Amino acid sequence: MPARCSCWLAGCVRGVTSTPGGAPNLQEWVANVRARPAPPLDPLPVMQQFETFEYAAQDMRDPFSTAFGRDEGAGGPRPDSNRRKQTLEQFPLDSLDMVGTLHTGASMVGLVMAPDKVTYRVQVGSYLGQNDGRVTSVREDGIELVELVPDGAGGWLERPASIALEDN
């Protein structure tokens, strides 16, 4: 079998080198191609003339100021920085699960399981979630709360949120 391969290779090599006058034809073709004139180049595109504009807005309001026409001392909802944080405020609201309720006299207490698998009691006025969420009502089927979120202009907005009772 090795003998066949060597014969075949020899035949291939022999076929390339045995063409009489192959190299002069190639050299002649290359010389003809080089002798041709180069094709003409496309003309350069015409440059558009733009109107000049002078920016003179020194007397206008700064678009990056945080006030946006609002008085810095304005009222409105704000997080209480002096308030001591409660345990459930370290967890995101969507990681908390309501697992039940307890009735204590006239009021109702919600049972909330945190990601640490500990069940906590919450009542109206308790705080939970990472956006200063304050519980506004506890019902048999859920807990309603109001979160404080930044409005992007230096102020705060109240946003309603809720935690529904888990269906197990």
Q: What is the DSSP letter of 60?
A: S
Tokens for 70, please give them: 């609002």
Band of residue 86 on the pLDDT scale cut at 50, 70, 90: very high
Q: How far is CA 14 from CA 17, 24, 104, in A?
A: 5, 18, 104
* Rounded CA separation 121/141 (Å): 15
pLDDT of the residue at 124: 92
Please write the tens of the pLDDT for every residue from 26-39: 999 999 999 999 88
The CATH architecture to which 87-164 belongs is Roll (2.30)
Q: Which residues pair with 111 in a beta bridge?
A: 100, 121
Its pTM surpasses 0.75: no
**Domain residue limits, the chain:** 87-164
Helices (H), 18-158: 22-35
Is pLDDT at 5 greater than 50 in this prediction?
no
Q: Provide CB contacts within 8 A for 142, sequence distance 6+.
A: 98, 162, 163, 164, 165
